[in-house]
Structure 1
Amino acid sequence: MPELYVGERHWSVSTGSNLLDALNQAGVAVPYSCRAGSCHACLVRCQGEVEDKQPEALSPAQRQDGWRLACQCQVSGDLRVEAFDPARDGLPAQVVGADWLNPSVLRLRLQPERGLRYRAGQHLVLWAGQVARPYSLASLPQEDPFLEFHLDCRHPGEFSDLARQLQVGDHLRLGELRGGALQYDPDWQSRPLWLLASGTGLGPLWGVLREALRQDHQGAIRVIHLAHDAEGHYLAEPLAALAAQHPNLTVELWTAAGSAQALAQLRLVSRQTLALLCGHPVSLEAFSKRLFLAGLPRNQLLADVFLPRG
């Protein structure tokens, strides 16, 4: 049986064992969120034999340095593992804003110790002590002097419970920055652009929208936000302000009760339309099906799914 080595410890595991499970079951606290190779919270450095089911999830440079996503790896031989240490490997950041946009959405603003180059819509892993979660950036690098995140705190959870207690001056650590599916391409400037979000999936699209407007997007922009109820439209006022300033921008606020009817009436004006979707998988599946039925080519839909922790 293969041997797993972590620091001074080592123990035997079955060949083919999932690396994340093998570590956590032995008391090595490796954080995770999606278990799908998307969030990158379970990043570990490996030396030895491991079968990686999703090698394309990391850059060649990261893989060369031995980094792997534990949730996507199976142990195939003796393996030495070094967990990501936020105190050593993370970038320090100070909380410069923590305010509630509605009773369940926390707007968290962070100032990193050094500048961070990123694009609107990218993801970043946030560490509070040894608890880590990936969140999408809602800020715009050219305009905002901070990193902004919109955290859904409706339900109890290790990170959201900690986040509720954050105050200005507190410190977190930043993990890996990764691409994500959502970004604005200047080549889209004359094409219709649809931004469809559910819940806090609006956060990264808020950044993408402002990037499109910053680059003077000429085509029509349609923003649709689906929320449980009217109170869930936590950016209603700033969206309305932008729509008042930009004649090519329209904003629609949908609630769960009326979403089926609204979806049924969704029509494409142009087959050149580009659609960016972000939020809960159930909502995104409904959006996607309707858009495909309406004639949107599949390669003109980009989606970033907020996978439930599991």
Structure 2
Amino acid sequence: MPDLRVGERRISVPTGSNLLDALNGVGLNVPYSCRAGSCHACLVRCVDGEPEDALPEALQADKREQGWRLACQCRVTADLQVMVFDPQRDGVPARVCALDWVGDVLRLRLKPARALRYQAGQHVVLWLGTVARPYSLASLPGEDDFLEFHIDCQRPGAFCDLARGLKIGDSLSLGEFRGGALHYDPDWQDRPLWLLAAGTGLAPLWGVAREALRQGHRAGIKVMHVAHDDAGHYLQPALQQTHGIDTEYVLQEHLEEALARLRPTSRQTIALLCGSPVSVERFARRLFIAGVPRNQVLADVFVEHA
């Protein structure tokens, strides 16, 4: 059986063991969310040896060259020494500069210790102590001098429970910035843009919408936001004050009726979707029926965190 070393600890694990499970099996508490290579919460750095990596393309080349791997995607097939991600050592420190509660949604703004490069629609792993979760960015790079996140605290959760106690000036750490499917492409300027979101799935699409406007988007921009109740339309004031966006607010109970009314004015329509797996599936199914080609529908799914 191969030896797995972490610091001074050495354990023998069965050949082919999942690296994340092996580390957590001995109490190292490596965080994870999706187990699919998307959230990047389970980063570890290989010091000696190489695991079998099922998804090498999930990390940028420079990160891989530095030895970083996603533990959830790796199997231990030979002796291996790793360092787990330490937010104090490996992350970027940030401080809370603004807090705004709208119902159960926390609009959190952070001021990082240094300027960071990112694109509208990306997400980043937030660390509060030893708890890490990926959250999408709602801020606009180059315009906002802070990073903004929309955190749904309706249900209990390890990160949400800590986030409820945050105060101005508190410290967090930022992990890796990660791009998903949501972005704005300048080639879309003359194509209608539909942004369909459920709950805090609106966060990255808010950034994308503002990026589209900043780049002079010439076709229409339509936002549909789905919430369980009126209070759930937490960005309504900001959307109403933004010219160039046609916004429809839909309650969950009326979603099918609202989706049935969607009629693309062009076969060139681009649709970006974000929310829970169920919501995104409903959006995608209705868009297909409405005639929007599948390759023009891009989606990010929010995984519910424990």
TM-score by length of 2: 0.97
1:209 aligns to 2:205 (yes or no): no
Aligned residue for 2:119, secondary structure, equals coil
Aligned residue for 1:159, secondary structure, equals helix
> In the alignment, which residue of structure 2 is the partner of 1:72?
73
* Deviation for aligned residue 1:35: 1.0
> In the alignment, which residue of structure 2 is the partner of 1:94?
95
Confirm or deny: 8 A CA contact 2:157 2:305 kept in the other structure.
no
In terms of mean alpha carbon deviation, does 80-89 or 257-266 score higher? Answer: 257-266
* Deviation for aligned residue 1:309: 3.3
Question: How many equivalent pairs are there?
Answer: 305
Q: In 2, distance between residues paired with 1:6 and 1:153?
A: 34
> In the alignment, which residue of structure 2 is the partner of 1:295?
291
> In the alignment, which residue of structure 2 is the partner of 1:270?
266
Superimposed CA distance per residue, residues 172-222 of structure 1 (whole angstroms, 9 cap, x where no aligned partner): 111111112111111111110000001100001111111111122110111
* Deviation for aligned residue 1:264: 2.2
In terms of mean alpha carbon deviation, does 105-114 or 298-307 score higher? Answer: 298-307
Q: In 2, distance between residues paired with 1:287 and 1:92?
A: 37
Identity %: 66
What does 1:208-227 correspond to in 2, within 5 Å? 208-227=208-227
* Deviation for aligned residue 1:15: 1.3
Superimposed CA distance per residue, residues 140-163 of structure 1 (whole angstroms, 9 cap, x where no aligned partner): 112211100000111111111111
In terms of mean alpha carbon deviation, does 107-116 or 232-241 score higher? Answer: 232-241
What does 1:177-188 correspond to in 2, within 5 Å? 177-188=177-188
Q: In 1, distance between residues paired with 2:161 and 2:217?
A: 39
Q: In 2, distance between residues paired with 1:264 and 1:293?
A: 9
TM-score by length of 1: 0.96
* Deviation for aligned residue 1:105: 0.3
> In the alignment, which residue of structure 1 is the partner of 2:53?
52
Could you tell me which amino acid in structure 1 is paired with residue 282 of structure 2?
A: A
1:158 aligns to 2:154 (yes or no): no
Superimposed CA distance per residue, residues 57-102 of structure 1 (whole angstroms, 9 cap, x where no aligned partner): 001111111111001111111111110111111111110011102x
What does 1:132-281 correspond to in 2, within 5 Å? 132-242=132-242, 245-246=243-244, 249-281=245-277
Confirm or deny: 8 A CA contact 2:226 2:249 kept in the other structure.
yes
1:309 aligns to 2:288 (yes or no): no
RMSD: 1.1
Aligned residue for 2:57, secondary structure, equals helix
> In the alignment, which residue of structure 2 is the partner of 1:6?
6
Segments of 5+ residues of structure 2 without an aligned counterpart are none
1:119 aligns to 2:127 (yes or no): no
Could you tell me which amino acid in structure 1 is paired with residue 199 of structure 2?
A: G
Aligned residue for 1:77, secondary structure, equals coil
Please, which of 267, 279, 286 is the counterpart of residue 283 of structure 1? 279
Aligned residue for 2:51, secondary structure, equals strand
* Deviation for aligned residue 1:114: 0.6
Confirm or deny: 8 A CA contact 2:37 2:55 kept in the other structure.
yes
Could you tell me which amino acid in structure 1 is paired with residue 84 of structure 2?
A: A
Segments of 5+ residues of structure 1 without an aligned counterpart are none
